Structure 1
Amino acid sequence: MHRMRILIAVALGAVLLVGVFAGYTELVERVVYDESVFAIAALVGVFAVLALAAILFVVDKNKKRLNAKELEIKYREQLFGMLVDNTDDIYIMFSPEGFAVEYVSPNIEKLLGVSADDVRHDIRALVDSAVDPSCDPAAEDIECLGEGECLQIDRERIRKNTGERRWYQETLYRESINGVDKYILVLSDRTREGMNSARLEQALAIARSSNEAKSLFLANMSHDIRTPINAIVGMARIAQESGEASEKVESCLHTIMLSSQHLLNLINDVLEMSRIESGQMSLQEERCTLDAIVEGVEAIIRPQAQARGQKMRIDCSRPSHREYTGDELRISQILLNLLSNAVKYTQEGGAIVLDVRELGQASPSYAKIKFTVSDNGMGMPEEFVERIFEPFERSRQASSSKIQGTGLGMSITKALVDAMGGTIEVDSKEGVGSVFCVTLDLRIAVAGEAEQPIDGPASEDEYDYGGKRFLLAEDNELNAEILIELLGLRGAEVEWAENGEEVVRMFAEKPAGYYDAVFMDVMMPIMNGYEAAQAIRASDIGCAHDVAIIALTANAFAEDVKAALDAGMDAHVAKPVDLEDLGRVLCRLCG
């Protein structure tokens, strides 16, 4: 285009010069006749010189512009070539007519071991490097590709000169260049990304395996440690109830019971914290009521407060909604941790208050519930309040007062509150007391949702064991002997099965209503407790669907409770078996 403009300018200049020269000659012939004509001719000559100079200037400027443009194109081509040579991407441009190749980046031979000339001659030369040539898009798919659209596939290719396998992401574009359609194929090496992805997947698999191993370890630890503790607590209780112990032995047995309970609490806290840190904690959504939660917590805490002469007041009358959907066990655990701390760190004769109120609805389906636990106990210094939720932190007063604890209770409480999306606040003053406020958004239960069975606050004494017959599935002989002895002292008859298969057989051999309840261990040989419970429920015996099946197991995590209920059991009591807990469950299930 620039060259055409230069040629036109030169032609016009020549025409102008010829005209000027002709006019100048005519003027010379007439100069003798008219001096004014000579003057005009002189002006025309000057004008012709200026015009010639202007033409030469334009020609020179256009020539320089053309040279600069050509130099810029060369620089771009050199830069593109340099980039192509130092990248792992291959570029191929071909036309729709017969897929004739018009450009191949020179790095194709280095990356694929395929000659660029071979590809220019026939694009199908790329097929030789493909591990699976069937991945090639069909010709009709390529032809149907619209302008600006692209096709993309991932596949493996072999570098022919080395035999190395590489992964490529291949993208085919259809573009219009100056109104002419072109196909541009880009082969991007993704081998490194693939290797990194494989490493990440391997690391994820290892992490999952590690978490599963840790979960199994924690479950086994919980089971294996609780089993001997169950024997220690059971034997101590049998010795206490025998009435044959001297005053000194009775004191020793009482210390054994207290120490066993402390050891059990320590184990529970450590295992629970380990599960939280490993991400194994899960929340269960179930229908629950504030009244049942508060009553269950009160049944456990009030006797402890009364033993220390403390006044305990509970106010749960203010919330307008009473039924919610949430993790009742975790909410109860939060309140138990706060209230048990209030009992421990409040002097004898002190006061403890649990206040439950509804702050309003966070949305049409959720209500904001605030639980406030306050006491007038020893309180905490300000510097300790700032780190109270850190693991294993204990206040100076607690250590000097020889109050037992693991320093994990508040860490667990904070983790549970966070998992539920709530908040926990602390206000404490040394020598005055402490106030803990937990706020949770609970989903308001709607009609028709299944209601979970709630253990009432009834005590062991409210259930009459006299004349009752129970079937016990327990693979540990010592644990079986302890429970048989303790229930026998209360007038109950217990028949023992050593594994799940035997308990199913014994239940099937007896007439309907023969057993008042079945106590089911979970980890047993031949057939575990879950399978045994399902087998009993599936049998055609008249009372198979109605008989109470209670899990008595050392598997005491929330997931274990849910697994027992899912297997068809009616309740879960963790080992070491607390006869008061068992009595409450039997009172609810058997009347």
Structure 2
Amino acid sequence: MNEHANDTYAGSPGGPLSTYYEYNTLMRLLGVSVSKHLLDEHYTVIWANDFYYQLIGWSKDEYEDIFHNQCDLYYREDPEEWARLTATVVEARNTNQSGYSLISRIRRKDGQYIWVKFSTAFADEYVNGCQVAYTSITNIDDLVRIQKEQSVTYNNLPGFAAKFMVEGRDLQLLEANDRFRGFFGCDSLSCGLSNCMTEKNKLTFEQNLPLMQAGRSVHFTLEARNKEGNSVWLQVNGDCIDWVNGRPFYLIIYIDITDITEQKELQKQLEERSEMLKNALKEAERANRAKSDFLSSMSHDIRTPMNAIVGMTEIAFAHLNDPEKVGSCLKKISLSSQHLLGLINDVLDMSKIESGKMALRYDSMNLPEVMENVIAIVQPMLKSRKQLFSIQLKNIVHEQFSCDTLRLRQILINILSNASKFTPSQGRITINIEEIPSETSGETQMIFTFTDTGIGMKPEFLDHIFDAFTRERDGRVDKTEGSGLGMAITQKIVELMGGTITVESQWEKGTRFTVSLPLRIEDQSMEQWEFPPLRILVADDDTIMCEYTIHLLEGLGIHATCVTSGEEALEQAITAHRHNRDFDAVIADWKMPGMDGLETMKKIREQVSRDVPVLIVSAYDWAEIEEPAIAAGVNGFLPKPLFPSTLMRGLNRYVLGRDPASGQRDRERRYDFTGSTILVVEDNELNREIAVELLTAVGARVEAACDGAQGVEAFSHSPLHSCDLILMDIQMPVMDGYTATRLIRELPREDAATVPILAMTADAFAEDIQAAREAGMDSHIAKPLDIAELKQMISRFL
């Protein structure tokens, strides 16, 4: 018995169709297949009538067993028709049509193809979030075959084909192919005929007209004008193909015999198209191999922040009695975790990357902080490979921008980690950052240039550097982990941000990536401080960095002296001391050949003065040199790159004794949720514990529930207006967060409709945020929880 046997269908002339059997019988007699599909990548069949399976020749059970109800598997023997079908569906949906019609062929079980007509309507119905379509399939095989036998496909004929009717002494042009129209350069059929009916051709027509009136074949040459107005010679071949009411109908083919260039051009086009097909096939095979390699290897994009997390965790455990060290490690773990989350989202949603569906999220971005974060993430890799690393700045006027901070960080880390991977030990990696004024008001152009002395790239690989899943094949790097996805993602993000990325590389010499990004300016100018006429000694073996620091200091009204070695710095300090003109501060790079920064500072302390402020500048981690630096008498640390704000804060704090950071700390928002009750609905015990601890730490009273059902019960039994906010997980056993939210909103109590409910889930894509809003939630925060963002969001509702 069919499972739909008791269904009824109204609307027939004789009353309702009482059974599914009668409905199916009517569809079969009409020769119509009816089916219901999901508009997913498989065009999955949800339901179909019996004639659907009779039409294709497979039974319902066979269709499910062999093709799993997936139309793409059914069409795998005929990919061209599947491509036509999917293209038609996509075009109809993109142009907001209600459906589509398509004449296509389908392959039956016996291997024979038949012609059918698809008529499809898109329904306002969704199954598991996917739209549904209803399709009728009509067998038109006989009609198509008859039309093919009776028609002449003019566009497939060689030369310029036309159909004429001979009526008396006149020729009436009835039809013509596209080449005929294109050759004569006009849409009007009479136009092409007039180009041939010239005075020069009059005698030729007079001689051949009697033959055509008798229905005999004709062959002659004539002179005509093409669309450019040039005179051309045509070979005319005509045959009578029909007689209608005593009038002969001719098919005439014109061939340009002015020269044989057209034949050569056709041959060239065929060869070019053949080569294009071969290249396309090779490219498809290469892409498939690359994706297979991706699935069998771990992405270096994921391993880079993961290594930082593991390494910083071990360091924190080893220094549990040192709160400052542990705090530094936790900060770096947090930064790496945030970056890792962004990468995982990209890797898991491959379709988003390949189709370019990646949205930007603009927020306030501080460039010095971003660079500090980037360096903290890649530093373990640079240290382990013993690579020389430097950052140089030029013309930096602004530091605060509005952009997608996560994506910018992702760009910088991807390129920098790539440079490290393919640069040998003791190799050099340099980042140059330059600000260029923009013609667009409120914007500036930031240029990031990454240069390394690595192995470089071969020319044949350079053309594919931005292809997804692509990696250089070389014995020296085959053991390097990586998916080949990082640079493809990087290029896509750069383009989304309105920028450009270029690459130059020489095999065995190195590579240079240049990223140019337009950034919206948030600060009109950096905070300015008044400085007394100080005298400062700067020591850095990098002459560019030394000159840049001097430029910054002189811009603050400070007299500066630059030397390029520790020995020179010591000599300058001693000389100044002898003349009673001690420097007010000494700034030295940590890594210098010969006498490094720490040794220089130690000797200045011993031989010059124990009171002069001395500062160390380095692109490496302060924690790495903190202990020996303090022992050498160093007063403070300035991280590279040395942004103007970094230098000003350092001088204020370590030289003048005024701490600009204290004002900033006072301005930072301190959240206090004392007196507020927050209900946390979360099934994961660890996540629940984290949320409770974080909220309790800022004074909130927290109640917890393990699933949606418990959350609804907890709220419904709470005193009226006692619950100030609900944090609701989405995916939970027993009852999910969407259902729980809807039930809470429907409760017959005054505060049910107004209590703020915030979605709290790992699903952080646009469709998830929309679903949360439709369920009645007020806002959405993604896991893992960003503590600052969570506090800020809660404060908006309390």
Instruction: Compute the TM-score of the two structures, normalised by the length of structure 2.
Output: 0.31
Which one has a larger percent helix, Structure 1 or Structure 2?
A: 1
* Structure label with greater radius of gyration: 1
